């Protein structure tokens, strides 16, 4: 793309939040979408501060999340996203993958099912024996 095209695209991107296609060419569909966004009153929002952004579904059903949205959501390359279908809307939600054992441990901590740290194995065994005695005293 020539320098005139670069300047034009930067203006479109600043005004709409729409990024150029990965091929680097100015896409007529994106320009129409940005023009339409201006017509529906989104021009009242500061540059890059739109309640929505339009993206185009590419071959193999890929979409590019606009940089302004990625930055606000904290999404980075390699992140896992949950795709949800709600009616005819597809929602992408950033997710963190946690090992099952770690998830179980975190749930136990939330419920207060943790013990204090011990200074030695002897302290741990003493505490364990106390807990066994308590359990034996409780009626079944």
pLDDT tens-digit series, residues 41-68: 444 555 555 567 788 999 999 999 988 8
Note every long-range contact of 16-25, with CB atoms under 8 Å and residues 24 or more positions apart, other chains counting.
Answer: 16/42, 16/50, 16/53, 16/54, 17/48, 17/50, 17/53, 17/66, 17/68, 17/69, 18/53, 18/54, 18/55, 18/66, 19/64, 19/66, 19/67, 21/56, 21/58, 22/58, 22/64, 25/1
pLDDT digits (tens, 9 = 90+) for 77-127: 888 888 999 999 998 888 877 777 888 888 888 888 887 788 999 999 998
């Amino acid at each position: 793309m020539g320098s005139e095209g670069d300047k034009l695209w930067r203006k479109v991107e600043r005004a709409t939040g729409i990024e150029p296609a990965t091929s680097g060419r100015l896409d007529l569909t994106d320009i129409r979408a940005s023009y339409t966004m201006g017509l529906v009153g989104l021009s009242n929002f500061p540059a890059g501060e739109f309640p929505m952004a339009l993206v185009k579904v590419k071959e193999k059903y890929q979409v590019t999340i606009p940089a302004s949205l990625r930055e606000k959501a904290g999404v980075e390359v390699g992140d896992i996203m949950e795709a949800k279908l709600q009616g005819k809307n597809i929602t992408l939600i950033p997710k963190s993958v946690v090992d099952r054992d770690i998830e179980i441990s975190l749930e136990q901590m939330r419920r207060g099912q943790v013990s204090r740290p011990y200074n030695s194995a002897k302290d741990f065994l003493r505490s364990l024996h106390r807990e066994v005695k308590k359990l034996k005293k409780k009626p079944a």
